[in-house]
Homo-oligomer: A and B are copies of this chain.
Amino acid sequence: MRLSQYFLPIMRENPKEAEIVSHRLMLRSGMIKQSGAGIYSWLPLGLKVLKKIEQVVREEQDRAGAIELLMPTLQSADLWRESGRYDDYGQEMLRITDRHGRDMLYGPTNEEMVTEIARDFIKSYKDLPKTLYHIQWKFRDEIRPRFGIMRGREFLMKDAYSFDLDEAEGRKSYNRMFVAYLRTFERLGVKAIPMAADTGPIGGDQSHEFIILADTGESEVFCHKDLLEQSVPDNVDYSADLEAERERWTTKYAATEEMHDAARFEKEVPEERRVSARGIEVGHIFSFGTKYSEPMNCTVQGKDNKMVSLYGGSYGIGVSRLIGAIIESSHDEDGIIWPAAVTPFDIGLLNLKAGDEQTDAACLDMYQKLAAAGLDVLYDDTGERAGGKFKRMDLIGLPWQIIAGPRSLKEGKVELKNRATGARDELSIEDVLQRFIK
């Protein structure tokens, strides 16, 4: 993409309304624009990151055997009356009345709707196990939306729902999602630790939150330092028993504020291994058994021909919120530092003398060669001064910058800058191209 033809509205000043660094950097780098209280438009750069995260989440869900569908944003109130949650949910649920006076709502989550789908179409134990997921916009009418997309009202969530015959099978589905979440966050370049968590309005008897440690986290968390240091499995056979992998993450102490047991923490974790920090929740998984299937009469024929209420769980990842969490844990004073997996462009190409025939020709040639090799390059072909170009490119945080000025081009050379380390190397054009083109 040529910057002169793109839509990248950078802000030079720090926006006053932004209290935390991710909100500030997303506004400044032209990723989002506020369109209402807790409601954001995703400008082109922000949307690219959102889609990359969505795709990583999708791939790991698919790998774990979950099947994608897409439920609508609006739901009928009657469905929530069946489960009994319509009255329970409180003011965070955005309630709507249509032109015929029917009660509807903007889905904050989809347990009821997906249970209705299972009730209609899953008839026999032979159809199990089944995990269905979707990536769809949700709305929660937060009383005080803040921190940009970190605590917005309209937000993008991946939510999966498992259906099994009994608790033992349900545990296997839970474990598959548990491991898929470890893999997902690892690929996104963040360290997310599963922690015992409260089940809240979803309900159920077991639950884990996946927490990224960051100073600006919304709540306090406590864990054994080993968990921060152990690695996530590379290749997972989801048809195998994943109980051991789950145990590797759940035996050592890790708990959110609500579930924290100070006495146990001190007893089980040696003092020098105790981590107490702020954390950002990026995923939350639940096993709630028959909480929805029973009142909604979602049953299947079991092996003995008796009808059985399906055993369920639900599994959420805050897709839009993850962007904020990634920025909170990956930035410096100059701007964002994108992990390679989610960067909006792979490379920034800076033409330091746009309009100069030779510089333009050399840049265009590199741009076309990189694009032909499938690399997504943001080519700064604008007539601005070098200082502004450097600042903007650092702000938007692409992992690599190729800096091309007339002086070094005379010797066939450009500078390659690593955004994370700040290291700049003068290299021949051929060497730089070879580095990216395999």
The chain A residues found within 8 Å of chain B, CB to CB, are: 5-7, 9, 30, 33, 35-37, 39-44, 47, 50, 65, 67-76, 91, 94, 96, 98-100, 102, 104, 106, 113, 116-117, 120-121, 130, 132, 137, 139, 141, 143, 153-154
Do A76 and B36 have beta carbons less than 8 Å apart?
Answer: yes
Closest to A383 in B: B126
Do B75 and A36 have beta carbons less than 8 Å apart?
Answer: yes
The one of B69, B100, B104, B113 in contact with A43, judged by C-beta atoms closer than 8 angstroms, is: B69
Closest to A11 in B: B121
- Least CB distance from A142 to B in Å reads 9
Do A74 and B36 have beta carbons less than 8 Å apart?
Answer: yes
Do A7 and B121 have beta carbons less than 8 Å apart?
Answer: yes
22 residue pairs bridging A and B, Cβ less than 8 Å apart: A7-B67, A7-B132, A9-B121, A30-B121, A35-B71, A35-B113, A39-B74, A40-B72, A41-B113, A41-B117, A42-B71, A43-B69, A44-B68, A73-B137, A73-B154, A74-B139, A94-B98, A94-B99, A96-B106, A98-B141, A99-B143, A137-B137
Q: Which residues of B contact A104 (CB under 8 A)?
A: 36
- In the complex, what distance in Å separates the CA atom of A117 from the CA atom of B137? 21
Q: Beyond A9-B121, A137-B137, is A36–B99 a contact (Cβ under 8 Å)?
A: no
- In the complex, what distance in Å separates the CA atom of A6 from the CA atom of B127? 9
Do B70 and A6 have beta carbons less than 8 Å apart?
Answer: no
Q: Beyond A47-B69, A121-B7, A137-B137, is A106–B42 a contact (Cβ under 8 Å)?
A: no
- In the complex, what distance in Å separates the CA atom of A36 from the CA atom of B200? 27
Do B35 and A75 have beta carbons less than 8 Å apart?
Answer: yes
Q: Which residues of B contact A117 (CB under 8 A)?
A: 33, 41, 43
Closest to A144 in B: B100
Q: Which residues of B contact A154 (CB under 8 A)?
A: 72-74
Do B71 and A73 have beta carbons less than 8 Å apart?
Answer: no
- In the complex, what distance in Å separates the CA atom of A3 from the CA atom of B336? 44
The one of B6, B9, B94, B141 in contact with A120, judged by C-beta atoms closer than 8 angstroms, is: B9
Q: Which residues of B contact A132 (CB under 8 A)?
A: 7
Do A96 and B99 have beta carbons less than 8 Å apart?
Answer: no
Given A30-B121, A35-B76, 10 more pairs with CB closer than 8 A: A7-B132, A35-B75, A36-B72, A36-B74, A37-B98, A41-B69, A41-B70, A47-B68, A74-B139, A137-B137
Closest to A142 in B: B99
Closest to A39 in B: B72
- In the complex, what distance in Å separates the CA atom of A130 from the CA atom of B154? 27
The one of B44, B69, B91, B106 in contact with A74, judged by C-beta atoms closer than 8 angstroms, is: B106
Do B99 and A91 have beta carbons less than 8 Å apart?
Answer: yes
Q: Which 10 A-B pairs have the closest CB atoms?
A: A9-B121, A42-B70, A36-B76, A41-B71, A91-B99, A39-B72, A99-B141, A72-B154, A47-B70, A7-B67
Do B39 and A7 have beta carbons less than 8 Å apart?
Answer: no
Q: Which residues of B contact A139 (CB under 8 A)?
A: 74
- In the complex, what distance in Å separates the CA atom of A130 from the CA atom of B43? 13
Do A130 and B7 have beta carbons less than 8 Å apart?
Answer: yes
Do A35 and B5 have beta carbons less than 8 Å apart?
Answer: no
Q: Which residues of B contact A69 (CB under 8 A)?
A: 7, 41-44, 47
Closest to A382 in B: B126
Q: Which residues of B contact A71 (CB under 8 A)?
A: 35, 41-42
- Least CB distance from A160 to B in Å reads 13
- Least CB distance from A320 to B in Å reads 10
Q: Which residues of B contact A41 (CB under 8 A)?
A: 69-72, 113, 117
Closest to A141 in B: B99
- Least CB distance from A43 to B in Å reads 5
Q: Which residues of B contact A74 (CB under 8 A)?
A: 36, 39, 106, 139, 153-154
